C-alpha cells in the first residue's frame, strides 16, 4: 500500500467483463493485468495485456508473475491452466468452480446432488441413447453440447419425434446432454458475492432473451420475496460447496412460484450490468473487493433499473444520451452480427418512468439493427 | 461510429482529474489521449500518454494529430499552446477561458466588469503600492501571487501593519495582487456544464479547507435556494461571456445571504468529485458529453453526499470499505506530504447517516496522517 496500490489483479479474459472490472476496480487503487488470446481485447488500455492462448503455460507463467491474485471473466479457461496458476498465486474463484460448470452434464449432476432443482437430464452418447432419453424425459426437450455453448449456441429444441434425428444430425460428434424443456413463465437470475468474510446477494432480476442472447433485464425483477430467498439459498449452497470467493451468477427458469436452475456462471454476468448505476456497489467492484480480501459493499438496489443489450450494430449514442436516466456503455468492439457491443442502463427513475424509458431505449436500439 | 468509437478526446494534463475523466468517459465509447510532462502521470493506462512540456509545440502537434477535440484538466496550460492547438483541432473550453482565469488580477477584473461580486482588489507593483493598497482596502487582507497559486500556495494573510513588510518579503519578485480578506461564514462552490445546446448546474456545495487544501465537501451544501440561484446565475454569465463548452467551477465565500467569488476553475473540480456516486451524471461524464457535442446528463443529486480528500498519506482501504455507503477513489500516486492521493465519497445514505459516516471516515483518514 506504500506505493498507492491496493492490489495487483490478474484477469483471465480481456473482454467486456474484464474491461468493466478494470473500470470499477481502478478507483480502488487496483492495478490490472489481463490475459487474452487477442491483442485487440476490449480490456486493453485498462491495464497491461498479456497475449496468449489459454493453454500456453509459458505465457500464463509470465502473466501470473507479480500479481497478487488471479481471477477470470471467462469460464472456459481450461481447468488445468487454472490449476497451474493456482500453484503459483491465489486463484479466485477456486478452479473447482470452473471444473463443475464448464460441462453441462457435470454441472447438472453437481447441482442435483446438492439438492438444487434442475430439469431432468440425460447424457447422450449416440442416436439410440438420444431416443431412449427422449422416451424417458418426454418432449419438448433440448439437446445441447456439453461444453462451450453460450448465448444459445450449440442447442436444438426437440418438439416432435421428427426433430430427434434432425437435432442429432446438427450436433452429433460432440459430447451432448438432453434436458427436459422447462415451460417457464419467465427467466430470472441472481448475482451474489462471497468475500473472505461473508456473502451478499443482489435482487433477483427478470431477464428476456432474444435469439438465445440476453436482451433485457429488469431489476429488481418484480419476483416474490420467497423466490428471492430461494434463489439466494441455492447460490449460497454453491458458495459453500465450492469454498467460493468472488461473484457468481445462477440463471433460473421461473415456473409459478418455483425455480429451476438453467445454468451457473462462476463470474460477473451480463444480467448484473445494471448494478453499475443501479446498486449501491456494482457487481464488478464487489468481485474485485472479494478476490482481494476487501470488505464487500452493499448490494442494495438504489431504485428501479433496466438494462438493454446492444447487439450487432451501434445506435447513435447522442439519441440515447438525450434521454433522462439513460446510461450508455460501449465496449470498444467493432460491430458484427450477433456480437455484444455494449449495453444501456436505465436508472434513477421511478418504476413507471423506468418502463416508459425502456420502451424509448428499445425503439432506438432495435431501430439500429 | 462504425468502429465503435464515439469520439477521440485529447486531454492536456494527466493527473487525477484526467484519470477520472477517462474512467467516466470510456464507457461512452470515447478513446483518450493524455498530454503530461511526466511519464508517470496518474491518467496513464486510461489512454495513450504523450509526454512533453506544455510549451513543446512539436509534441503538442503530435498530441493533437488524430483527436477530435482537445480539452484540459489543468488550467495553467500556456494560453499560446491552447491557441496553437485551436488552430488545428477544436479546443473546449475555449482558450479565452484560460486567458481570463490564469492570472488572478485579470480574473478579478473580468468578473468585476461582468458585475459578478468579488472582494476589493489592487494590483501590487512594489512595497509603496502594497502600502497604498492596504490603506485603501483595509486589514485583514490577502497578498497573493497573480499566477500559479493553488491549494493555498503563494498566499499570505495580512492582519496587522507589521505583516505588510513580512508578506512583501515572502512573495515579492512575482506579480502580486492584494485582496480584501472576506470574513466568510462558510465556503461554497458550484460546478456547472454548458453543452453545445444548453446548460446544467449541480447543487451548490459547502466546502471546508485545511491548510489551504480542500478537506471536506458536503453536497448539497444546505445553502438556500436563493444562493443556489445566485451561484448558477454568476456561472451562467461566465458561460455566456466565454462562449463556454464544458464543465466550469466557481468557488465562493458565503457571507450571510450573499456570495463573493473566490476563484474560477475552467474545468472539473475537486469539490465535484461527489458527483461520481452522488449525482445522476458525474461532472466528468458531463464534461466529456459537453466537449464532444453529446447531450448533457441530469445534474440532480441522488441524495445526500459528502467527500473527504486523502492527502499526504494513505489510509487502509479495507477500513474504509468496511463502512456502508463509503466509496474509495485512489489516484495511483505515491504518498508525499500535502499531495492529493485520493478521495472518499459517502453516498446513498440518509442525511443524518451521512453525517455520522463522515465522522467515521474523518477518524480513519485523519488517523493516517
- Residue B211 Rama label (left phi>0; alpha psi -120 to 50; beta): left
Tens-place pLDDT, residues A59-81: 999 999 999 999 999 989 999 99
- Is 70 exceeded by the pLDDT of residue B2? no
B contacts of A342 (beta carbons < 8 Å): 29
Q: Measure the CA dihedral B89/B95/B96/B98, to 10°.
A: 170
Chain B's closest residue to A19, CA to CA, is B27
Reported as a pLDDT band with limits 50, 70 and 90, residue A151 is low
Predicted pLDDT of residue A10? 98
- Which pLDDT band holds residue B153 (cuts at 50, 70, 90)? confident
Residue B127, C-alpha cell as written in the block = 512595497
**ipTM of this predicted structure:** 0.93
Question: Which segments within chain B are labelled E, that is strand?
Answer: 7-12, 30-36, 48-51, 69-72, 90-91, 121-124, 141-145, 155-158, 176-180, 186-195, 198-201, 205-210, 213-219, 246-255, 258-265, 304-311, 326-330, 340-349
Q: What is the pLDDT of residue B369?
A: 59
A280 CB neighbours in chain B (<8 A) are 324-325, 348
Gap between the Cα atoms of A168 and A145, Å rounded: 11
**Domains detected in chain A:** 7-91 (3.40.50.20), 120-180 (3.30.1490.20), 186-368 (3.30.470.20)
Nearest-angstrom CA–CA distance, B24 and B21:
5
Q: What is the per-residue DSSP string for B313-337?
A: SPPPHHHHHTSTTEEEEE------T
Task: Tell me: pLDDT of B45 over 90.
Answer: no
Residues in B closer than 8 angstroms to A29, CB to CB, are 317, 328, 330, 332, 342
Q: Note the pLDDT tens digit of each residue in B341-365.
A: 999 999 999 999 999 999 999 999 9
- Among all residues of chain A, which has the CA nearest to that of B195? A322
Per-position b or e across A12-44, b if 16+ CB within 10 A of its CB:
bbbbbbbbbbbbbbbbbbbbbbbbbeeeebbbb
At residue B4 the predicted structure's pLDDT band, cuts being 50, 70 and 90, is confident
CA-based torsion, B267, B271, B277, B281: positive or negative: negative
**What's the pLDDT score for residue B79?**
95
- Dig out the grid coordinates for A187 from the structure: 427467466
Within 10 Å of residue B78's Cβ, how many Cβ atoms? Answer: 15
Exposure of A8 in the CB half-sphere (CA atoms within 13 A): 11
Q: How many CB atoms lie within 10 A of CB B256?
A: 8
B152 — pLDDT class (breaks 50, 70, 90): low
Q: What is the pLDDT of residues B82-127, one digit of tens each?
A: 999 999 999 999 999 999 999 999 999 999 999 999 999 999 999 9
pLDDT over 90 percentage in chain A: 93
d(CA A230, CA B347): 30
CA dist list (Å): A53 to A38, A91, B255: 9, 18, 65
**Average predicted confidence (pLDDT) for chain B:** 95
Quick one: average pLDDT of A326-341? 95
Asked if the model's pLDDT at residue B137 lies above 60, the reply is yes
Would you place residue B234 in the very low, low, confident or very high pLDDT band (cuts 50, 70, 90)? Answer: very high
Which residues in chain B are contacts of A23 at CB distance < 8 A? 23, 26-27
Mean pLDDT of all residues in A195-200: 92
Mean pLDDT, chain A, integer: 95
A2 pLDDT band (50/70/90 cuts)? low
Per residue in A234-270, pLDDT (tens digit) is 999 999 999 999 999 999 999 999 999 999 999 999 9
CB atoms near residue B348 (< 10 Å): 23
* Res. A1: pLDDT tops 70: no
Chain B contact probe: residue of A3, A307, A317 with most B CBs at under 10 A: A317
Check B329 against A27: CB less than 8 A apart: yes
* CB-closest option in B1, B302, B317 to A28: B317
* Contact yes or no for A44/A21 (Cβ under 8 A): no
> A332–B4: do the CB atoms touch at under 8 Å?
yes
Cβ proximity of A347 and B45 under 8 Å: no
Amino acid at each position: 500500500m506504500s506505493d498507492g496500490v491496493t492490489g495487483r489483479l490478474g484477469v483471465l479474459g480481456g473482454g467486456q467483463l474484464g474491461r468493466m472490472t478494470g473500470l470499477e476496480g481502478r478507483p480502488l487503487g487496483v492495478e490490472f493485468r489481463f490475459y487474452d488470446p487477442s491483442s485487440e481485447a476490449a480490456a486493453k488500455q485498462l491495464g497491461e495485456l498479456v497475449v496468449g492462448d489459454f493453454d500456453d503455460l509459458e505465457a500464463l507463467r509470465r502473466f501470473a508473475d507479480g500479481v497478487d491474485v488471479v481471477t477470470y471473466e471467462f469460464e472456459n479457461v481450461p481447468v488445468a491452466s487454472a490449476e497451474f496458476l493456482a500453484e503459483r498465486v491465489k486463484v479466485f474463484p477456486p478452479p473447482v468452480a470452473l471444473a463443475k460448470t464448464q460441462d453441462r452434464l457435470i454441472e447438472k449432476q453437481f447441482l442435483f446432488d446438492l439438492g438444487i432443482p434442475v430439469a431432468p437430464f440425460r447424457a447422450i452418447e449416440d442416436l439410440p441413447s438420444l431416443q431412449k432419453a427422449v422416451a424417458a424425459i418426454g418432449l419438448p426437450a433440448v439437446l445441447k453440447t456439453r461444453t462451450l455453448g453460450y448465448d444459445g449456441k450449440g442447442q436444438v429444441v426437440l418438439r416432435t419425434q421428427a426433430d430427434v434425428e434432425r437435432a442429432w444430425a446438427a450436433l452429433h460428434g460432440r459430447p451432448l446432454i438432453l434436458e427436459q424443456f422447462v415451460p417457464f413463465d419467465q427467466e430470472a437470475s441472481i448475482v451474489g458475492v462471497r468475500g473472505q468474510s461473508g456473502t451478499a446477494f443482489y435482487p433477483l432480476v427478470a431477464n428476456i432473451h432474444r435469439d438465445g442472447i440476453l436482451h433485457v433485464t429488469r431489476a429488481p425483477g418484480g419476483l416474490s420475496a420467497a423466490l428471492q430467498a430461494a434463489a439466494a439459498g441455492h447460490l449460497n449452497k454453491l458458495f459453500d460447496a465450492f469454498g467460493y470467493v468472488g461473484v457468481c451468477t445462477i440463471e433460473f427458469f421461473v415456473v409459478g412460484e418455483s425455480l429451476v436452475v438453467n445454468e451457473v456462471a462462476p463470474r460477473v454476468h451480463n444480467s448484473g450490468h445494471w448494478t453499475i448505476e443501479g446498486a449501491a456497489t456494482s457487481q464488478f467492484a464487489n468481485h474485485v473487493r472479494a478476490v482481494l480480501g476487501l470488505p464487500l459493499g452493499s448490494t442494495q438496489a438504489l431504485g428501479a433499473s433496466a438494462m438493454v443489450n446492444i447487439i450487432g450494430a451501434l445506435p447513435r449514442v447522442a439519441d440515447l444520451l438525450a434521454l433522462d436516466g439513460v446510461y450508455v456503455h460501449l465496449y470498444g468492439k467493432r460491430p458484427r452480427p450477433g456480437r455484444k457491443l455494449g449495453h444501456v442502463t436505465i436508472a434513477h427513475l421511478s418504476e413507471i418512468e423506468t418502463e416508459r424509458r425502456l420502451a424509448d431505449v428499445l425503439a432506438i436500439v432495435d431501430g439500429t439493427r
